[in-house]
Structure 1
């Protein structure tokens, strides 16, 4: 069985950060995602997908994500239910994200992208390891075509043929 989803969209409002009674951080936000076709009126239709993130990732999202920012999330679909004040059963379908990518910088929408997941945010290493892995990750995200148009010096020994 497989329950995995990847979504890219824009936040409809700033994430809402809360804490459970046990002190665990949880943030909620909604992604607006354009459908790949236009409706009968010629307008693009949009889906609004509720997203939930937990622990350190929730705090990171609350600190850095803002309304309108382009964001990618990876997670699983969850359906939960509860009884409302009128005694009716309410079903909620949402995505529980374990990986969030910030596809736009808060200063400039094209300057860089970054991402955090539960594993990198609070996984088994110390903060120096996490910081160095993020630094090396951002070095690897540089534009591979920044020297486009300049000759490339490759020796014949490096060629596979």
Structure 2
């Protein structure tokens, strides 16, 4: 028995792209950096993440460049032939779950100074997307 689960965390590289299949199914994709090695041997690779169905329809507005996310899903190797006839591959994560992490500014409560010099704490705005999905992804 083989288990295929991958967890990756990072800041989204560019805004998510949303498209529809000829059958009307929604697909959203974005890229995440994955670091390998350490020190002078550290290397960053980019992994494509894909969402399907209701999540792909509702989440792209929240999947913007720089947003910190942790994703869990199935690792696949996308294969295709380019225009020159060369076989190409790219790592892809088909998402089962996505968690939105707060940036340093959002995770700490914002502080304001009131008129008498005391600091006043206000909670950060809730920028997280809704997490109520009726349908399961089609994979």
TM over 0.5: yes
Q: How far is 1:50 from its partner?
A: 1.3
**Alignment equivalent of 2:134, drawn from 107, 119, 122:** 122
Instruction: Name the SS of the counterpart of 1:121 in structure 2.
Output: coil
Gap runs ≥5 in structure 1: 125-161
Alignment correspondent of 2:106: 109
Residues 2/113 of structure 1: CA separation in 2 closer, same or farther (3 Å cut):
farther
State the TM-score, normalizing by the size of structure 2.
Answer: 0.71
Q: Shift in Å at residue 87 of structure 1?
A: 1.8
User: Contact 1:10/1:33 (CA < 8 Å) preserved in 2?
Assistant: no
Q: In 2 relative to 1, CA 115–35 (structure 1 residues): closer, same or farther, beyond 3 Å? A: farther
Structure 2 unpaired stretches of 5+: 108-123
Count of aligned residue pairs for this structure pair: 117
Structure with higher strand content: 2
Question: Deviation at 1:16?
Answer: 0.5
> Which residue in 2 is equivalent to 1:10?
11
Residue by residue, what CA displacement relative to the aligned partner does 1:49-108 show, whole Å, maximum 9, x if unpaired?
A: 111111111123312121001101000111132222222222222111111111127xx6
The structure whose RCO (Cα within 8 Å, separation 6+) is larger is 2
Distance in 2 between the 1:53 and 1:47 partners?
20
CA contact (8 A) 1:100 1:115 kept: no
Distance 1:36 1:109 in 2: 29
Q: In the alignment, what sits opposite 1:39?
A: 40
Structure 1 length normalisation: TM-score? 0.62
Partner Cα separation in structure 1 for residue 37 and residue 130 of structure 2: 27
Compared CA separation, residues 5 and 39, structure 1 to 2 (3 A)? same
Cα–Cα, structure 1 residues 10 and 55, in superposed 2: closer, same or farther, change >3 Å?
same
Asked whether the equivalents of residues 18 and 26 of structure 2 are also in contact (C-alpha less than 8 Å), the reply is yes
> Residues 106-134 of structure 1: CA distance to partner in whole angstroms, max 9, x if unpaired?
xx6214685777xx52338xxxxxxxxxx
| Alpha-carbon distance in structure 2 between the residues aligned to 1:72 and 1:37 | 21
Q: Which has the larger radius of gyration?
A: 1
The answer on 1:64 being equivalent to 2:76 is no
2:97 pairs with 1:85? no
